[in-house]
Amino acid sequence: MPALVLLGAQWGDEGKGKATDLLGGSVDYVVRYQGGNNAGHTVVVGDQKYALHLLPSGILSPGCVPVIGNGVVVDPAVLLSELSGLEERGVDTSKLLISGNAHLITPYHTTMDKVTERFLGKRKIGTTGRGIGPTYADKINRVGIRVQDLFDESILTQKVEAALDQKNQVLAKLYNRRAIAVDQVVEELLGYADALRGYVCDTTLLLNDALDQDKVVLFEGGQGTLLDVDHGTYPFVTSSNPTAGGACTGAGVGPTRIDRVIGILKAYTTRVGAGPFPTELFDEDGEKLRTIGGERGVTTGRDRRCGWFDAVIARYATRVNGLTDFFLTKLDVLTGWESIPVCVAYGIDGRRVDELPYNQTDFHHAEPVYEMLPGWSEDISGAKEFSDLPKNAQAYVKALEEMSGAPISAIGVGPGRDETIQINSFL
Ligand code: IMP
């Protein structure tokens, strides 16, 4: 079972870091295939808590090679500071490999992200402000800067010139901002070259060779299914493909090589930024989920919007990703509710709808149809086996599994690496 994709089944922040890290001990390579430092993984190892934004969580597992694939956008300043932060805490980062084809987030991308959001006003996306969208836009417009460009000053200068040519017009004439000097950007980027050179390689060749040799490769998605630029709640999405197909394009492996696709699914739902969210709660239950679940963004520090579990979304995630398994996280957060509402379908203009509406207006009008499941009050954080869970917690998990369309193979009952019930092995 050598190639697994692990991705968010909802709007991100499902607890992927814990799941990847848990598997990291048994896999040879952990690969990020899209997104950038808009992601935020919290990994708890023993009494140590690590917040990772750009680096694959496998960096915390000795013996595992962390890889940043071609589909990722890399802010070199953030990358180097994340690396030195880990090194200071005694983590060995020397095995990291970075695709020479990954695109670079430069200071002008971050500037464009912020001014564009300001310009959009109340129609803003609520981006993380990390330059993600503008960097992917340049990639698609064929004026992006790639990691390999850092090692050729003449090419780098030409490319920065080409990229800034139009942008400076837009910045000055539309946004009333000062133009950005080419030399300054080139100098800053060249300053990262030596520190990064040793990490850069042809990761596509490396990963395909690894798969040929039956090594275990884990592809780790950032964000989540509903934030996918093609399959998410467009335009309230990120600018890449967190869905399973993104692992192929973002790492350079063919779809026939993927054996298993694991969706990380929170036992309730959260979302950061703007956009539709049918089960969102604006009452004390929402506040309680936020407080108990620690639902505050790792990257931006923003409070997450919270709501009940939405089975329509889970079914959709199964469909568009071809999920083989779910990893249900944060079940412990639901301890203490007498009964727990679960959204099983939507009501849209008087009709019952069981599948995610493809029409955006319908989705914006979707009202959750709830089924009430009985809650539990026992502390479940020490549960090691499924049978250790209180009967109502077992029934909650079984009901979610039935509604969501794929087996729940692991359950998170606390933030620690050990606080997991493994039902089916992932490998
Ligand atoms: P961007 O990815 O910074 O362009 O932001 C686009 C949307 O994706 C915004 O709603 C962000 O809040 C959301 N987003 C980006 N990264 C994450 C993440 O890791 N978790 C949850 N939401 C995210």
Q: What are the tens digits of pLDDT across the range 38-47?
A: 987 777 777 8
Question: Given a cut of 70, is residue 256 above it in pLDDT?
Answer: yes
Instruction: State the pLDDT at residue 24.
Output: 67
Q: Are 202 and 130 in contact (CB under 8 A)?
A: no
Give the chain's length.
Answer: 427
Is residue 297 pLDDT above 80, yes or no? no
The whole-angstrom separation of Cα 42 and Cα 51 is: 5
Is residue 270 lining ligand 1, measured as CB closer than 6 Å? Answer: no
For residue 350, the SS3 value is coil
The predicted structure's pLDDT at residue 194:
97
Closest alpha carbon to 111 in 190, 167, 163:
167
- Would you say the C-alpha torsion 313, 319, 320, 324 has a positive or negative sign? positive
Q: 10 Å Cβ neighbour count for 53?
A: 21
Residue-level pLDDT at 18:
77
Domain boundaries, the chain: 3-93+202-422, 103-197
User: Among residues of the chain, what percentage have pLDDT more than 70?
Assistant: 99
Question: What's residue 347's pLDDT?
Answer: 98
Pocket-testing residue among 43, 112, 238, 300, ligand 1, by greatest number of atoms within 8 A of Cβ:
238
For domain 3-93+202-422, give its CATH number from 3.30.43.10, 3.90.170.10, 3.40.640.10, 3.40.50.450: 3.90.170.10
Pocket flag, ligand 1, residue 106 (CB < 6 Å): no
Q: CATH: 3.20.20.70, 1.10.300.10, 1.20.210.10, 1.10.1740.10. Which one for 103-197?
A: 1.10.300.10
Tally Cβ neighbours within 10 Å of residue 23: 24
Burial class (CB in 10 A: 0-12, 13-18, 19+), 117: middle
Q: Cite the DSSP H helix spans in 93-202.
A: 107-120, 132-140, 153-169, 182-197
Query: Probe ligand 1: pick from 10, 109, 223, max atoms within 8 Å of CB?
Result: 223
**1 pLDDT more than 70:** no
pTM score: 0.95
Q: What is the pLDDT of residue 315?
A: 98
- Burial class from Cβ neighbours inside 10 Å (0-12, 13-18, 19+) for residue 377 reads exposed
Place of tokens 């950005």: 180
Q: Give CA 91 to chain center in angstroms.
A: 22
Rounded to the nearest angstrom, the distance between the alpha carbon of 10 and the centre of ligand 1 is 12
**Could you tell me if 59 and 90 are in contact, meaning their C-beta atoms sit under 8 angstroms apart?**
no
